[in-house]
Structure 1
Amino acid sequence: MNYVRFKKDGKRNYGILDGKEVKLITGDIYQDYKLTDLVYQLSEVELLAPCNPTKIVCVGLNYLDHAQELGMEIPKEPLIFLKPTSALIGPADEIKYPQMGQQIDYEAELAIVIKKETKNISPQQAKEHILGYTCFNDVTARKLQARDGQWTRAKSFDTFAPIGPSIASGIAANNLEIKLLKNGEIKQNSNTKQMIFTVEEIVSFISQVMTLEAGDLIATGTPPGVGPVEREDKIEVQIEGIGTLKNMIK
């Protein structure tokens, strides 16, 4: 199942994406909903960020091949940080290149969408707390990240958290192809089986620190090949079973 959030005639709705059609639903995708008879062509609607998180939790250095690329020691537990929800944008929205940015990098990531309140759970319990998964671009002001020594400023500019196009449920998240294309050229190409910590381990770990709410996002780290962008670049995050998140740098 692929859930989308969209705007039609000025109204925001949830729907189920089926090929090039969006089937309108009523109710709460995190609890109970009903499928209606209304069907729109994908070209008739504006896709929005597929969820409204209370927080965006990110995991750093979570791919074996990325750690090897950087020559860094494998972390013994997930390294987590936060992005503000003010950074959130949806598919086709523009990523704004900030004046103080200096060097802006892309980072393709798989993001977990939480289904219900989650606190102090085990990895074995995690699946029942996950609604699904979406594409995420952890846009980063790399030179500011190095200068500050902590990551808040570098990760938090408005538009630095694109997600979408859908929330895919019922997929094997620990074995998915993940790619990033810049202007049609593949820059990142890996598989989530390279993740050091599985999605279940990540959700469990974070739930020991903070309470997760329905709709919250957890970005699970990026594979090797991270690099800079320039204005007018077209960035695509492609994840098997989810789709393609497309954004332009402006």
Structure 2
Amino acid sequence: MKLATYKNDSRDGQLMLVSRDLKLTCSAAPVVKTMQQLLDNWDELFEPLNERYQALCSGELLAEKFDAQKCHSPLPRAYHWADGSAYVNHVELVRRARGAEVPESFWHDPLMYQGGSDDFIGPYDDIEVPDESMGIDFEAEIAVVTADVPMGTADDHAGNFIKLLMLVNDVSLRGLIPGELAKGFGFYQSKPASSFAPVAVTPDELGDSWFDSKVHLALLTHYNNELFGKPNAGVDMTFNFNLLVAHAARTRNLGAGTIIGSGTVSNKQGTDHGSAIVHGGVGYSCIAEVRMIETIRDGQPSTAFMSNGDTVRIEMADNDGSSIFGAIEQRVKIKK
């Protein structure tokens, strides 16, 4: 099943069903009005909603053309948003650039922080930042959305609670991160509002590309209309989503609608020049990783962070080349 949320006068928008090919849509309102209501009552509402979805895909329902620019993030706000760092290669590069080793614990105990979830922005909304000097960066990621997860859920059972998958742009302000982390209390100002692709999908929509609780497809990032990254999200993922969900639930219950992110998708570097597209590699999912490669290679970074007017597009295609989630397509806007 594929789902989106159209913007309306309410904070939580209108839940919409979207056809498998992303061409048509119809309201989910005869069954449920919002995404959060669906997640709160998943076992009761899934079957009648799925019947409506199948009717939409087969042309049995009156439908309209799907317009991704009308979309909010599938969950315009959520009770809980926690982002992991499942690709330890990304962490290793960051630490190598400053001459530090990766602690052994990082390979079996995932990093995770709890971000702001009261103010997600839509996939076509501007990324508004007060000042370019804050080091504006995108981070292309995958996320899962869960039902209620009991505290202490084991990783081999955590997959039962994963209901939806989404793409994420976890915007980071790199210039603020070192000072915040130095305080010993974690991210806050350095992590402004995140955005998600227009469409959330149930795992079965990915077919054989969803196994071992990973998405085995390339995550495509275009920066200022040029291909910047195409790493495979199923490669070099040290912690799969089962492990991330179990980690988040170790000491607390997770409420329905909890979003768990993968962290920046990152594949190991394959050439002396890193993994840039121009050097035949798979590229990157954030600017910071390019800068780490430059620092390791040249002693200092040379690629700038995002500026006013810069654009980023994040998308994923299936094995036939068709978009699965629609695209996140955003422009930086300096808000004076």
CA distance in 2, matches of 1:44, 1:166: 8
Shift of the alpha carbon at 1:15? 1.8
The answer to whether the 8 A contact 1:118-1:129 is kept is: no
With over 3 angstroms needed to count, the CA separation of the structure-2 counterparts of 1:128 and 1:177, relative to structure 1, is same
Matches within 5 A, 1:21-36: 21-25=24-28, 26-27=31-32, 28-30=37-39, 31=42, 32=45, 33-34=48-49, 35=52
Gaps of 5+ in 2: 267-283, 288-304, 318-323
Residue type at the aligned position of 2:38:
I
Aligned-residue offset at 1:167 = 0.9
- Note closer, same or farther for the CA distance 1:101–1:58 as it changes in structure 2 (3 Å cut): farther
Matches within 5 A, 1:79-94: 79-94=111-126
2:165 paired with 1:165? no
- In structure 2, the residue matched to 1:13 is 14
> Structure 1 residue 139: deviation in Å?
0.7
The residue identity in structure 2 corresponding to 1:153 is Q
Measure the CA separation in 2 of the matches of 1:43 and 1:84: 27
C-alpha change, 1:148 and 1:7, in structure 2 (3 Å) is closer
Please state if 1:207 is matched with 2:249: yes
CA distance in 1, matches of 2:125, 2:79: 20
Q: Is the 8 A contact 2:217 2:232 kept in 1?
A: yes
- In our comparison, the structure showing a higher alpha carbon Rg is 2
Q: Which moved more, 1:37-46 or 1:130-139?
A: 37-46
Output aligned runs, 1:121-136, within 5 Å: 121-136=153-168
Matches within 5 A, 1:56-75: 56-60=81-85, 62-70=86-94, 71=96, 73=102, 75=106
CA contact (8 A) 2:24 2:66 kept: yes
Seen in structure 2, the aligned counterparts of structure 1 residues 220 and 99 have a Cα distance that, compared at 3 Å, is same
Shift of 1:100: 7.8
Q: Is the 8 A contact 1:97 1:231 kept in 2?
A: no
Q: What is the deviation of 1:85?
A: 1.6
Q: Deviations over 1:202-230 (max 9, x none)?
A: 00111113321111211111034321211
Q: Which moved more, 1:30-39 or 1:115-124?
A: 30-39
**Contact 1:53/1:214 (8 A) holds in 2:** no
In the other structure, the counterpart of 2:312 is 235
Q: Distance in 2 between matches of 1:16 and 1:68?
A: 40
CA contact (8 A) 1:123 1:200 kept: yes
Specify whether residues 41 and 97 from structure 1 end up closer, same or farther in structure 2 by C-alpha distance, changes over 3 A only: same
* Other-structure match for 2:190: 154
Which is helix-richer, 1 or 2?
2
Q: Deviations over 1:66-102 (max 9, x none)?
A: 2453335261311111111234112111110223852
Return the structure number with greater relative CO, CA threshold 8 A, min gap 6. 1
Q: Deviations over 1:228-248 (max 9, x none)?
A: 211111111123433321122
CA deviations on 1:74-133 (whole Å, 9 max, x unpaired) are: 613111111112341121111102238521111111011112344221122122211111
Contact 2:78/2:118 (<8 A) preserved: no
Tell whether the 8 Å contact from 2:143 to 2:262 is kept in structure 1 after alignment: yes
Say if 1:120 and 1:208, in contact at 8 Å, map to a contact too: yes
CA contact (8 A) 2:73 2:197 kept: yes
8 Å CA contact 1:138, 1:161 repeated in 2: yes
TM-score by length of 1: 0.88
CA distance in structure 1 between the aligned counterparts of 2:62 and 2:78, rounded to whole angstroms? 27
